[in-house]
Amino acid sequence: MFEFNIIAECPETGARAGEFRTGHGVIETPLFMPVGTQAAVKAMSPPELQEIGAQIVLGNTYHLYLRPGADIVEQAGGLHRFMDWPGGILTDSGGFQVFSLADLRKITDEGVEFRSHIDGRKHFMTPELSIETQQKLGSDIAMCFDELIHIPAEEKASREAMERTVRWAERCGRAHTRSDQALFGIVQGTLFEDQRVECAERLAEMDFPGYAIGGLSVGETHEEMYRVLDALRPVMPKNKPRYLMGVGMPENLLEGVARGVDMFDCVLPTRNGRNGSLLTRRGRINIKNAAYERDFSPIEEGCGCYACRRFSRAYIRHLYRSGEILASRLCSWHNLYFLVNLMRGARRAIIEGSFPAYLRDFFKEGEFEA
């Protein structure tokens, strides 16, 4: 069921175009996945996500475990029916959210004790419980429970977290029983290339259907991120999809694709959209600025999203100043469309043999850091 086929590669870079078959259709890569933390992509309905071309969305295991609870989602028929989404769904393991709790958690080899951010109650998340929860949620892709730590990290602390991630991956693999759900391993090791390579090689021996790269986009420089991706590209299984977690800046997406990454996700397009920050080919703009008060052009000329087809910068700025919810919806719509379409264009360029030019033109046209 979870066959991954590479249909085109760029010989000048590591970019590849692929197809990953799941129970809810074939996912065409490279792609950007909108984040639906609590079984909903903020400000967007499922038909709207389909309209922008989203193929797969994310659900958050930590949040759904706490509210409404995996049992309720399971009784509703799983996440697809619960949120009325016909496409693919990936659930993360909850590792990043537990990492974010900082002072509210305690990590041992057995698992993580943490206090709920909702009511302060204690919970204990183990690799087995994470897998049990994700199986009840019924996602197409589940993630192994992992440990990530802050960057920069001491070498010893980084290795301890990497080793624990490998041990937890083994436990996740034993606990996972759903044949209609792909389980991905997660590569950790902070910025230590030797640890990253070792982790990837040990996880590859477990033969997961796909592999993620975690623990990046947490404060390191772009150059440090790319250095890690460069080190991992030769050792990650070529015949499995590669997923760079939590990365959503356009320049990072394209540089990731050039290094063989197939899948990306991030809350950036909707979070920034709610704050009036918009992505364009020429760089980022803040729609709340006075410069757009009488600007009756679209957010971006030539953009095919609903917001750009129907409304002007002046109107969207007016909505923000008036406190209208529609402003957040339109800006989120545009940002999501921008990233989904950016990846669609990259895929087309890989297939047509023009990806280096596509990459070069993007950085030449916009105010982005290569």
> How sure is the predictor about 1, in pLDDT bands with cuts at 50, 70 and 90?
confident
Domain that holds residue 109: 4-265
Give a yes or no: residue 220 inside a domain.
yes
Say whether pLDDT at 99 is over 90. Answer: no
Give a yes or no: residue 100 inside a domain.
yes
Residues with catalytic annotation? 92, 265
pLDDT at 20: 98
Relative to beta strand 182-187, strand 242-244 is unpaired
Sequence-ordered list of residues with C-beta below 8 angstroms from that of 276, at least 6 positions apart, any chain: 286, 287, 288, 320, 327, 331
Give a yes or no: residue 230 inside a domain.
yes
Query: What are the structure tokens assigned to 81, written together?
Result: 């029916």
What are the pLDDT digits (tens) for 250-265? 999 999 999 999 999 9
The residue among 100 and 266 whose pLDDT is bigger is 266
What are the pLDDT digits (tens) for 12-28? 999 999 999 999 999 99
CB 78 within 8 A of CB 138: yes
> How sure is the predictor about 369, in pLDDT bands with cuts at 50, 70 and 90?
low
Mean pLDDT of the chain: 95
Q: How far apart are CA 205 and CA 220, in angstroms?
A: 29
CB 87 within 8 A of CB 53: no
How much is the average pLDDT of 109-127? 91
Give a yes or no: residue 218 inside a domain.
yes
pLDDT at 367: 72
Say whether pLDDT at 336 is over 80. Answer: yes
How much is the average pLDDT of 292-310? 98
Give a yes or no: residue 356 inside a domain.
no
**Amino acid making up residue 224:** E
> How sure is the predictor about 370, in pLDDT bands with cuts at 50, 70 and 90?
low
Which of these ranges, 47-51, 105-109, 160-164, has the smallest mean pLDDT?
A: 105-109
What are the pLDDT digits (tens) for 47-78? 999 999 999 999 999 999 999 999 999 999 99
> How sure is the predictor about 180, in pLDDT bands with cuts at 50, 70 and 90?
very high
- The CATH number given to whatever domain includes residue 193 is 3.20.20.105
Q: How far apart are CA 279 and CA 150, in angstroms?
A: 28
Say whether pLDDT at 269 is over 80. Answer: yes
Say whether pLDDT at 204 is over 80. Answer: yes
pLDDT at 54: 98
The model's pTM: 0.96
pLDDT at 153: 95
Give a yes or no: residue 104 inside a domain.
yes
pLDDT at 212: 98
The residue among 267 and 118 whose pLDDT is bigger is 267
Give a yes or no: residue 301 inside a domain.
no
Instruction: Give the sign of the dihedral formed by CA 43, CA 136, CA 50, CA 342.
Output: positive
Give a yes or no: residue 29 inside a domain.
yes
Domains of the chain: total: 1
How much is the average pLDDT of 214-222? 94
What are the pLDDT digits (tens) for 119-148? 989 999 999 999 999 999 999 999 999 998
